[in-house]
Structure formats: C-alpha cells, structure tokens
Structure 1
C-alpha cells in the first residue's frame, strides 16, 4: 500500500512540476533543496502542523541564521509583512509579501533588501534574521505562506534540486 501511495505521489509531483511552467529556486544556500523544518522543541514546520489551538498556515524552510535569502521565482515584492503584532519578537519581526506566477505569498524572518519592486529568480532579497535570539534551540528557518492559506508544497515541489545545488555552488 505504501508503495502505491509513494508512486501516486511521485507521479502527481512530476505532473504538477511539468505543467507549472516554472521551477522554485533555493531560498537559502544553506539548504539548496528547500527542506522543511522537521520536529523540534517548538513543533513542526509542515503546513497544517498543530500550533496549540490553531494550525500552521505555511511551511518553515530550513535556513541558517545570517544566510543570504534569494528570490525563488521571478516576483514582485508588494509590501513589508510582519509576522507578530504589537512589536513582539522584534529581532525576527520582518518579512515581505510578494506575488509570483499569479499567486500571493508572505516570507517571514528576513531583513529584506527592499519592500517593493520586481526581482528575478536568484536575486538577493534579504538576510535571514536570528531565530536563535528569540527561540533558542529551534531549527532556524524562513516561513513561507501562500495566500489564501493553502499548502505551498505544490509550488516548492516544482524545484529542480540539481539546478538549485548548482546555483548555490556558484555562490560559495
């Protein structure tokens, strides 16, 4: 049964990837395959993971504190987006909202290079803020949220991991 589920998942991922017409690039070269944060003392990074009385509305893509953050697609940055209300957790309370491929996203826990304008896939868009200064022991990550809050993995799964690794190798 597991083999059948795996095969169906692989076929669907291939169909989605080939029909999308775009490939999601690496957000951080410390994680060129955009691996999602697993379980740690603060929870899980997958879409829909429990957050007490609510569900996680995005995915947490592992990224080392201080890493350069790159545009994963050709995109238009539309505004600043902050994850926490009332100035809490100021060390990581920054990010952007952007559109790409007809979809809307938020990307949090970065110090953006700008809050508006168009950028090309692979352009530097910011620096990863220090998650450890706020959540000591968490797996550091950027939070990617699709608007409306639906699982963004179908977008991330369009990536070409070999191309992403090559992109990051050229930046070392």
Structure 2
C-alpha cells in the first residue's frame, strides 16, 4: 500500500491535482459499472488501468507495505499491481508498479487501481 501523511494544519485538498496514475490513462478516467461494482462498495475511486500498464505515484509520499492509515492520510492500495519497491520515499509521477491482469481472479472486471482518502472524502477533485 502506498500512503502519505498530510500535516494536520493543511487541508487534504492542499495536495493539488494528482499526476496520471496509469500509463495510457492521462486523465485518470474512472471505471464505470461492472458486475463487481455492485458487490464491493468502497469509499474511493477506481482509476482504469490496462493490464501491463505502468502505475505511477499520483502524489509524493512513502511506500510502507501494510499500513493502518489515519484520517489525515491518502492511500492507494496496489492489490493487483506488481510494485517496483515495497518500502521507501516516492515522488509524484514516479513509477511504483505494473498492473497485473485482474481478470485472472475476477472475470469480466475492468482493471483498475483503487484510490481512497482515509477520511473518506471524495478524491475525484484531485484526479
């Protein structure tokens, strides 16, 4: 999981617009409905990412492996992406992984990277 701490005196929106998350999706287009969206409700957004695409850091932060994020953090789980590194600082726009084929586990799903603010606010304003 990729996360970053935001100082408490800065609002979450202070991070500004994010970089493209996946190669081939420069506008961070969000996936629409598929058969799995109705079964798995989430508080974030799912950015479309083609299988084999490079996954980039949308914001600077720290890769910490498994995390227990606080409400002042943003997280980007890389569940179906092969990470370049499992720990360390990461810069906005830096390659952090490669998208794996989600269809090998969830047939007919649109491959995507899930992005979520830990305070459950809507992250689309940063996309």
Q: State if a TM-score over 0.5 links the two structures.
A: yes
Compute the displacement of 1:154 (Å).
2.7
* Distance change >3 Å, CA 21–CA 143, structure 1 → 2: closer
Where does residue 76 of structure 1 map in the other structure?
62
Partner of 1:110: 81
Rounded Cα–Cα distance in structure 1 between residues aligned with 2:110 and 2:83:
21
The residue that corresponds to 1:119 in the other structure is 90
Shift of 1:151: 2.3
Partner of 1:51: 39
Larger proportion of helix = 1
**Larger relative contact order (C-alpha < 8 A, sep ≥ 6)?**
2
- Could you state the TM-score of these two structures normalised by the residue count of structure 1? 0.57
Given that residues 72 and 122 in structure 1 are in contact (C-alpha distance below 8 angstroms), is that contact kept between their aligned partners in structure 2? yes
Q: Distance in 2 between matches of 1:98 and 1:122?
A: 22
Structure 2: 5+ residue stretches without partners:
1-12
TM-score by length of 2: 0.74
Q: How many residues align?
A: 114
